Amino acid sequence: MAFLNTLSQRGLSAPEAALAAGTATLHLDGELTALEKRIIALFRDQFSPLSLLDEPTFEALLQRGMSHALSGVTLANVGQWVNTTIAPVVTNPTHRLELYRYCYALAMADLNVDDGENAVLTALIAAFGLSNADTSAAEAAVLTEFASLHRALAATVVGLLIVTADGKVGEDELANIRNARTLLEPIGRLDDVQFELVFDLSLNIHDRFLLEPANREAFLTNVVTHMLNTPELARQAFEYAASVATSDGDIATSEADTLKAMLAALHVPDAEGEAIFNRYMAHIRTVDGRPI
C-alpha cells in the first residue's frame, strides 16, 4: 500500500507535464469535454517527446496528466501551478518552446484564445522566460501548420450561422451543411471522417461563442473573412451559405438577413452575389413557412 501511495504522489514526467498543461489550457473555462480530450491526443506531435510514444503508453500518461490538471489547477493559481509543477520537469529549452506551441495549437482549435487559455500561455511565458520572438515564431508556426484546419472550421461555421439564424435547427438542416460542402474547397476536399471532426469542432465554436447576435457578427467580420480571404473562397462561401439556406425549399427571413450580412462581409461583388442568390432562390417555395 505504501508503494502505491508513493507512486501516486510522485512528480510528473515531462510528457505527463505536457499533457497536464494541455489539459489545463482547455479546461480552465469549464468542464473538459470528450472532444477536447480527443484534440489533446490529436495535436500531441507539437511536443516531440509525446510523438515517440506507443498508444498504450500515451493513453496511460494522458490519464495521469489529465487527472493532475483537473485536480490541481484553477484560474486563480495557474501561475503558481506552472511554476511548481510544469517548469521543474520541462527543462529542455526546445521542449519548453514546443510545449508553448502545443498549448497554443490547442487554444486555437476554436479559432480563439479565451481568458483561461491565455492564462496558461501567459504562465508558460513567465515560467520559461520565453521572449516575444520565441512566442511569435511558435504561434506563426502553428497558424501555418493548421491553416487548412482553421479554414475548414471557418467554412463550416458559415453553414452553422445560416441554419441557426432562426433559432431552430433540424437534422435535415445539419445534413445540408454536410451535403453542400463540396461547394467550398476547404471542406469539400475532406472525407467523411475528417469532416465529422471539423463539424464537431465547429459546433463547439458555435455553442461557446456564437449564440449572441453581436458575437455572430464579429465572428463573420473578423474571423471568417480572415480565414476565407481570397475572392474565390469568398464566392464559394457565399454560394455554400445560399445552398444551405435554400436546400429545404424554405428560407427564413433571419436566414436571408444572414446571407446579406455575409455578402457584405465577404466583399462578394453585388452582381455576382445577386446571381448566386437568384439561382438558389429558384428552389424556394416558402418564406418563413408561407407560400410565395
Sheet holding 250-251, edge to edge: 250-251, 286-287, 290-291
Pairing of strands 250-251, 286-287: parallel
| Cβ atoms of 111 and 150 closer than 8 Å | yes
Task: Give the model confidence (pLDDT) of 197-243 as tens digits.
Answer: 999 999 999 998 999 999 999 999 999 999 999 999 999 999 999 99
pLDDT tens digits, 65-100:
999 999 888 989 999 999 999 999 999 999 999 999
Look up the CATH number of domain 148-291: 1.10.3680.10
Residue identified by cell 470528450 is 34
Residue type, 75: L
Please answer whether residues 173 and 248 qualify as being in contact, where contact means their C-beta atoms are separated by less than 8 angstroms: yes
Here the cell at position 203 is 459546433
Is the distance from CB of 43 to CB of 102 less than 8 angstroms?
yes
User: In 28-54, where does DSSP find H-type helix?
Assistant: 34-42, 48-51
Angle CA(284)–CA(272)–CA(152) in degrees, nearest 5?
80
Please give the pLDDT value at position 5: 33
**Distance separating alpha carbons of residues 136 and 124, to the nearest angstrom:** 14
Torsion angle of alpha carbons 48, 198, 105, 108, nearest 10°? 180
Return the domain boundaries, the chain. 2-145, 148-291
Strand (E) positions, the chain? 250-251, 286-287, 290-291
CB 199 within 8 A of CB 156: yes
Q: Give the bridge partners for 250, in sequence order.
A: 286
Domains 2-145 and 148-291 share a fold: yes
What's the rounded Cα separation, in Å, for the pair 3 and 1? 5
**3-state SS track over 235-260:** HHHHHHHHHHHHCCCEECHHHHHHHH
> How many CB atoms are closer than 10 A to CB 152?
27
CA dist 132 and 109 (Å) reads: 22
CATH of 2-145, one of 1.20.120, 3.40.50, 3.10.350, 1.10.3680: 1.10.3680
Per-block mean pLDDT, blocks of 10 residues, the chain (292 long): 36 95 91 93 97 95 94 90 96 98 97 95 98 98 98 97 88 90 97 96 93 94 95 97 92 94 95 94 90 87
Distance of CA 169 to the CA centre of its chain: 21
Q: Are 161 and 220 in contact (CB under 8 A)?
A: yes
